[in-house]
Structure 1
Amino acid sequence: MELRDIEIFLTLAEELHFGRTAERLHITPSRVSHVIKTQERRVGAALFERTSRTVRLTPLGRQLRDDLLPAYQQIQQAIDRAAADARSITGTLRVGYTTPWGADLAYRAAEAFQGRYAGCSIRVQEVPLDDPLGPLRRGELELHISELPVQVPGVTEGPVLFSETRALMVPSGHPLARLDGVSLEHLAEVPLIGPRGAAPAAMREAHVPARTPSGLVVPRGPSYALWSEVPALVAAGLGASIVAARAERYHDRPGIVFVPFHDGPRLEYGVLWRTAGHAPAGRAFVDLLVDLSGAHPDDD
């Protein structure tokens, strides 16, 4: 039964008059009659008793009305809320990213979002890794597709968008490049490149650990501000970097090799926003990011 047909049935159940029902719904009385007859054929019994003077619900019609009305009202309330949110989604929404797959997702979402909400424009920009949370905290961004975990006051970690197996990006001449796989213990054998600045402790430990699980010190290599610097530093033989496995599809080039890890947790990337303010436009964009990412491990 279509939603419009349900509306016709419930309106007639309230008005108990074909003419008033048609006038209220801006349709013809014959349309009302046709819909009711179709519904009665579908259920196999009369829903209304009709005479030349009166229209009454049958016991079955009353039961159907009582069953349908709460669900119909809930649907209408949901539509009204969505319409209200859509009217409030205006202005500019600024979205940051740090990885190229985060950029791909942000731009795909921006195109789809502006098709739905013409009154809202999306501005997408790269966030430097030497100040990963600064733009968000200063109000220069509303959303940030970021490495996780963050675990800092004032910043909310939203849904995980990518859950990735790890790889170690190493110089092609390094002994580790000849292995089929590495462990976290191998990090003690190569300088690890890390971001400049003060990244959150939880994020730094996940992506640039200070020690291996057994307690060996992980040597430090040079630092970087933008992710695009990392492949060049590795190709120059200056160190290695823990990366998502999909980074090979974006950054493969002469002088570097991607060796998968066979231990350790997965890397996660999600969407962040300021805890103090999350507007309807931001909520709608986050929902779209989740839909487009699929929120599946190793999803493209």
Structure 2
Amino acid sequence: MNIAQLECFLAVADELHFGRAAERLHRSPATVSEAVAALERGIGGKLFARTSRRVTLTPEGARFLQEVREPFEALLRAHARASARARRLRPEVVIAHTPQLGHLLLPSLQAAAGAGSAPALPVWRPVLMHTHEQQRAVEAGTADIGLCWSATVQPPLRSVVLRKLPIMAVLPQDDPLAREDVVAMASLRGRGLLMTPRKDNAFLAGTVQIALAQAGLNPGDVEEVERYEDLALRIRTGRLVGLHPATGLGSDRMPGLVMRPLAPGVGATICALTREDAGQDACALVDALRATARSLEAPASSDDRQGRAAR
């Protein structure tokens, strides 16, 4: 038995639904189901009765819930108090960031901190984490700020929108669709589609998949590529189409690629995650990140301009 298994058990006991419990914990339903199954194997008995329509506690599950609820919550309270003390003593603000957003925003934040005319910013330290990891780290107090794409959160977390951006089609410059000012979703039918992994941000991936399904495309046909750099290379060499927020072209330029808006439009946001009780230093850095995000430009590349001029 471990803390993660207990956490999953209590969430399912509260929700009586594995999907809702997974959403509450920022985990996949499969992960929650396996954690509960492992706990049941360790105990040697069933804690939940499951049917296709409902989930209920077994008598043993109800007894176990009564016995573990208060000790578990006492442990969480002790952890929260220790985290609060650690945050007060920590000499720097920890900014957890996804790979691309770290490359996109943090150098400008560092430059702003070093500008003599700008107000002094708190000392900060970057830590690479994907979105679901950021949510858990900020909630636990091991990170002060999360920097990620679109995310839904629940108290004690809050999400601050730094900038709204469209999701674009990433195309080879000589692709016929690159001649269009706007690419219709339906015109992607039959094309090989690439995205960064769903595990990096299930909410953003889900938004794109819904838009694809509404346009008559099969979301299951989208292939996941681990990094944007690899995604761009495969598009450039394989005549494929990528789906990615607009800043991709600005931060990871590759000659011969262009971005085009999609119709119907699909949106994404750059978000900063904090706790609701975030301190002044973290709030000051969120304000600075918002200013940095709003000042970003992703101008057309020289290849893009030449391609348009040749039409």
TM-score by length of 2: 0.53
Query: Secondary structure of 2:213's partner?
Result: coil
- Partners of 1:171 and 1:164 lie apart in 2 by 21
Q: Does structure 2 conserve the Cα–Cα contact (< 8 Å) formed by 1:142 and 1:274?
A: yes
Q: Does structure 2 conserve the Cα–Cα contact (< 8 Å) formed by 1:211 and 1:218?
A: yes
- The 5 Å alignment of 1:51-70 reads none
The AA in structure 2 aligned to 1:183 is A
User: Which residues of structure 1 form unaligned runs of 5+?
Assistant: 1-87
Please report how far the alpha carbon of residue 182 of structure 1 lies from its aligned counterpart in structure 2 after TM superposition.
0.5
- The 5 Å alignment of 1:198-237 reads 198-209=199-210, 211-218=212-219, 220-237=221-238
Q: Does structure 2 conserve the Cα–Cα contact (< 8 Å) formed by 1:161 and 1:290?
A: yes
Q: Does structure 2 conserve the Cα–Cα contact (< 8 Å) formed by 1:188 and 1:212?
A: no
- Partners of 1:199 and 1:153 lie apart in 2 by 18
Please report how far the alpha carbon of residue 271 of structure 1 lies from its aligned counterpart in structure 2 after TM superposition.
0.9
Q: Does structure 1 conserve the Cα–Cα contact (< 8 Å) formed by 2:161 and 2:269?
A: yes
- Partners of 2:213 and 2:260 lie apart in 1 by 17
Could you tell me which residue of structure 1 aligns to residue 131 of structure 2?
132
- Partners of 1:141 and 1:227 lie apart in 2 by 25
Going from structure 1 to structure 2, the CA distance change for 1:281 and 1:207 (only over 3 Å counts) comes to farther
CA distances 1:72-98 after superposition (whole Å, capped 9, x unpaired): xxxxxxxxxxxxxxxx79612121333
Could you tell me which residue of structure 2 aligns to residue 143 of structure 1?
145
Please report how far the alpha carbon of residue 169 of structure 1 lies from its aligned counterpart in structure 2 after TM superposition.
0.3
The AA in structure 1 aligned to 2:241 is A
Q: Does structure 1 conserve the Cα–Cα contact (< 8 Å) formed by 2:149 and 2:201?
A: no
- Comparing 193-202 with 231-240, which one deviates more in the overlay? 193-202
The AA in structure 2 aligned to 1:287 is D
- Partners of 1:272 and 1:97 lie apart in 2 by 10
The AA in structure 2 aligned to 1:234 is I
The AA in structure 2 aligned to 1:145 is L
Please report how far the alpha carbon of residue 190 of structure 1 lies from its aligned counterpart in structure 2 after TM superposition.
2.2
Could you tell me which residue of structure 1 aligns to residue 280 of structure 2?
280
Please report how far the alpha carbon of residue 126 of structure 1 lies from its aligned counterpart in structure 2 after TM superposition.
3.9
Could you tell me which residue of structure 1 aligns to residue 267 of structure 2?
266
- Equivalent pairs counted in the alignment come to 206
Going from structure 1 to structure 2, the CA distance change for 1:293 and 1:176 (only over 3 Å counts) comes to closer
- Partners of 1:157 and 1:184 lie apart in 2 by 32
Going from structure 1 to structure 2, the CA distance change for 1:200 and 1:258 (only over 3 Å counts) comes to closer
CA distances 1:238-260 after superposition (whole Å, capped 9, x unpaired): 73222233433333424533223
Could you tell me which residue of structure 2 aligns to residue 46 of structure 1?
none
Query: Secondary structure of 1:205's partner?
Result: helix
Q: Does structure 1 conserve the Cα–Cα contact (< 8 Å) formed by 2:245 and 2:268?
A: yes
Q: Does structure 2 conserve the Cα–Cα contact (< 8 Å) formed by 1:162 and 1:299?
A: no
- Partners of 1:151 and 1:176 lie apart in 2 by 33
Could you tell me which residue of structure 2 aligns to residue 107 of structure 1?
107
Going from structure 1 to structure 2, the CA distance change for 1:261 and 1:221 (only over 3 Å counts) comes to closer
Could you tell me which residue of structure 2 aligns to residue 98 of structure 1?
98
Could you tell me which residue of structure 2 aligns to residue 164 of structure 1?
165
Going from structure 1 to structure 2, the CA distance change for 1:293 and 1:252 (only over 3 Å counts) comes to closer
- Partners of 2:180 and 2:229 lie apart in 1 by 25
Please report how far the alpha carbon of residue 155 of structure 1 lies from its aligned counterpart in structure 2 after TM superposition.
6.9
Query: Secondary structure of 1:257's partner?
Result: strand
- Partners of 1:157 and 1:207 lie apart in 2 by 23
Going from structure 1 to structure 2, the CA distance change for 1:154 and 1:123 (only over 3 Å counts) comes to same
Matched, 1:245 2:246: yes
Please report how far the alpha carbon of residue 211 of structure 1 lies from its aligned counterpart in structure 2 after TM superposition.
3.1
Q: Does structure 2 conserve the Cα–Cα contact (< 8 Å) formed by 1:95 and 1:142?
A: yes
The AA in structure 1 aligned to 2:248 is A
- Identify the structure with the greater helix proportion: 2
- Partners of 1:185 and 1:282 lie apart in 2 by 43
Q: Does structure 2 conserve the Cα–Cα contact (< 8 Å) formed by 1:89 and 1:281?
A: no
- Partners of 1:178 and 1:266 lie apart in 2 by 22
Could you tell me which residue of structure 1 aligns to residue 5 of structure 2?
none
| Percent of aligned pairs sharing the same letter | 17
Could you tell me which residue of structure 2 aligns to residue 52 of structure 1?
none
CA distances 1:144-201 after superposition (whole Å, capped 9, x unpaired): 22111x2244573433222223421024464433433202323433232233353554
Please report how far the alpha carbon of residue 286 of structure 1 lies from its aligned counterpart in structure 2 after TM superposition.
1.0
CA distances 1:80-138 after superposition (whole Å, capped 9, x unpaired): xxxxxxxx7961212133364653433333454578568x53112443xxx42214413
- Partners of 1:176 and 1:160 lie apart in 2 by 31
Q: Does structure 2 conserve the Cα–Cα contact (< 8 Å) formed by 1:136 and 1:142?
A: no
Please report how far the alpha carbon of residue 209 of structure 1 lies from its aligned counterpart in structure 2 after TM superposition.
4.3
